[in-house]
């Protein structure tokens, strides 16, 4: 996963949505999409759902999955074709880590910053005001981070649903949440470059590359080695049990002592628990009386929390369940960022992308804070399931290529991936 600064946001970046500026930025944006992200074509499906909600004058919250760093480009393209503009709630780190001209481009495309680790009331007010009064939809990624998983939704956080409920309570117009699935697939064969990356990873751990073995088996062997090293690093018993259970046990072994140290009662998913502790760490580090030594301890704790999220981002059975080229590449992308510490994973093949809009869900206004908490949980769960259903439907239609297998030449991806085309059987 991408490393980024964790602290209070140094400033706020408001939206400066401009149709004129979007037209002027479009050539550069398409160049970045084609040559940085290597996405040369985007399909849009279900746009009638969005057009109908726009025509009905609804406040629209779009809630996509977040599988890649190309997601915003897919949604920009969808907005262009539908003839609308979108607003985007964007982590402040995206602005802070971008050059000035990219920050300006983000703002002109409707992006505004949010501090996910603090109580960012200004960003919350902006989001609610947009849903209540703006003609353009608002996009929030409920997963919160890029998890490099085309086929699976990672647990949604409840912030997006709470924003929709607050807008609905104002009662000025109907508010709808629109499930949205994003997917990328290869149309040229990245196998050779993926094998080169796998060899680099194996050498990093002092292991001999095994090009005679299928990539998915090499990944499993590599992942087991990394897990053993992490268990030994924390004096945990090296077990022979289920890999996913061991991953979860390691996350708990890192996270639970930090929760105890900062007086946090464990509640919610791993990302929610990490966010709760991270807020406590940042507040402690930024107190005026905190010494340099205290800040070093806090930074070490932030690094540990980031390690928990890294571990959480690996489901454990993602490649074993279906060894498609996309799943292989996504897993190696994460390992490139996590083990080789690349700022962001390289793109190793030409890709197509798809955007699928689902049936909108009307947000029911509630009267009390207790009802809002319960309804936010229910709505979040419903949105997560709807997005997963959209992904499952697109996966069945796509029928991704399988991972190359030296034992069976017919399984090599180039049998189904050809010069910029895909066999959509």
pLDDT tens digits, one per residue of 12-64: 999 999 999 999 999 999 999 999 999 999 999 999 999 999 999 999 999 99
- Specify whether 77 is located in the same domain as 171: yes
Work out the percent of the chain whose per-residue pLDDT is above 70.
92
Residue 406 within any structural domain of the chain: no
| 184, 318: one domain | no
- CATH code, domain with 108: 3.40.1130.10
Give Cβ neighbours of residue 134 (< 8 Å, ≥ 6 apart): 59, 87
The per-residue pLDDT for 396 is: 65
**Entry pTM:** 0.90
Average pLDDT value for residue range 191-201: 97
- The string of DSSP letters for 71-103 reads HHHHHHHHHHHHT---EEEEEHHHHHTS-HHHH
Residues 203 and 331 in one domain: yes
Q: Is residue 421 part of a domain?
A: no
Q: Is residue 384 part of a domain?
A: yes
Query: By percentage, how much of the chain surpasses pLDDT 90?
Result: 81
Show the domain range for 147.
19-188+349-397
**Whether 215 and 255 share a structural domain:** yes
Q: Do 165 and 43 fall within a single domain?
A: yes
Residue 415 falls within a domain, yes or no? no
For residues 236 and 95, state if they share a domain: no
pLDDT attached to residue 400: 45
Question: According to the model, what pLDDT value does residue 329 have?
Answer: 96
Q: How far from the centroid of its chain's Cα atoms is residue 418's Cα?
A: 28
Q: Is 256 in the same domain as 381?
A: no
Say if residue 159 is in the same domain as residue 274. Answer: no
In whole angstroms, give the CA distance from residue 316 to residue 244.
Answer: 5
Residue pair 144/160 in contact by the 8 Å Cβ criterion = no
| Domain presence at residue 417 | no
The contacts of residue 110 (CB under 8 Å, 6+ apart) are 15, 17, 85, 86, 87, 88, 136
Q: Would you give the DSSP letter of residue 142?
A: T
Q: Is the pLDDT of residue 118 over 80?
A: no
| Domain limit, last residue, from 318, 340, 362 | 340
What's the domain count of the chain? Answer: 2
**Average pLDDT across the chain, whole number:** 91
pLDDT category, 413, cuts 50, 70, 90? very low
Q: What pLDDT was estimated at residue 80?
A: 97
pLDDT band at 423 (very low <50, low <70, confident <90, very high): very low
Q: Is 113 helix (H, G, I), strand (E, B) or coil?
A: strand
Q: Which helix (H) or strand (E) holds 109?
A: none
Q: Do 303 and 373 sit in the same domain of this protein?
A: no
pLDDT at 76 over 70: yes
Q: Which of 340, 360, 378 is the last residue of a domain?
A: 340
Question: Is 1 inside a domain boundary?
Answer: no
Quick one: 255 and 370 in the same domain? no
**Shared domain check, 119 and 108:** yes
Residue 4 inside a domain? The answer is: no
| Residue 263 falls inside a structural domain | yes
pLDDT band at 411; cut points 50, 70, 90: very low
| Termini Cα distance of the chain | 33
Q: Are residues 254 and 361 in the same domain?
A: no
């Amino acid at each position: 996963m991408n490393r980024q600064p964790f602290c209070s946001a140094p400033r706020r970046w408001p939206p400066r949505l401009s149709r004129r500026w979007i037209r002027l930025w479009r050539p550069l944006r398409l160049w970045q999409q084609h040559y940085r992200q290597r996405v040369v074509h985007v399909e849009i499906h279900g746009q009638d759902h969005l057009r109908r909600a726009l025509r009905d004058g609804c406040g629209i919250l779009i809630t996509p999955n977040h599988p890649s760093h190309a997601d915003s480009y897919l949604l920009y393209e969808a907005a262009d074709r539908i003839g609308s503009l979108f607003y985007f709630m964007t982590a402040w780190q995206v602005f802070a880590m971008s050059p000035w001209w990219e920050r300006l481009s983000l703002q002109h495309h409707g992006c505004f910053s949010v501090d996910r680790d603090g109580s960012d009331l200004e960003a919350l007010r902006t989001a609610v005001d947009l849903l209540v009064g703006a003609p353009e939809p608002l996009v929030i990624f409920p997963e919160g981070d890029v998890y490099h998983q085309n086929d699976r939704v990672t647990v949604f956080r409840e912030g997006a649903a709470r924003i929709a409920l607050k807008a609905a309570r104002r009662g000025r117009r109907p508010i709808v949440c629109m499930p949205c699935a994003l997917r990328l697939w290869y149309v040229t064969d990245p196998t050779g470059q993926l094998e080169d990356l796998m060899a680099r990873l194996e050498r990093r751990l002092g292991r001999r590359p095994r090009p005679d073995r299928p990539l998915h088996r090499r990944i499993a062997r590599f992942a087991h080695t990394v897990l053993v090293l992490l268990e030994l690093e924390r004096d945990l018993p090296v077990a022979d049990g289920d890999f996913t259970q061991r991953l979860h046990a390691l996350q708990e072994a890192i996270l639970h002592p930090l929760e105890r140290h900062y007086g946090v009662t464990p509640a919610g998913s791993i990302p929610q628990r990490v966010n709760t502790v991270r807020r406590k760490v940042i507040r402690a580090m930024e107190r005026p009386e905190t010494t340099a030594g205290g800040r070093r301890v806090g930074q070490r704790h932030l690094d540990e929390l980031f390690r928990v999220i890294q571990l959480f981002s690996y489901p454990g059975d993602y490649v074993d369940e279906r060894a498609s080229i996309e799943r292989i590449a996504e897993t190696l992308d994460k390992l490139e960022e996590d083990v080789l510490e690349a700022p962001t994973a390289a793109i190793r093949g030409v890709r197509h992308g798809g955007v699928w809009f689902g049936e909108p869900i009307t947000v029911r206004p509630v009267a009390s804070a207790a009802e809002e908490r319960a309804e936010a949980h229910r709505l979040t769960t419903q949105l997560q399931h709807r997005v997963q259903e959209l992904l499952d439907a697109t996966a069945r239609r796509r029928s991704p290529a399988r991972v190359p297998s030296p034992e069976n030449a017919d399984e090599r991806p180039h049998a189904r991936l050809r010069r910029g085309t895909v066999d959509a059987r």
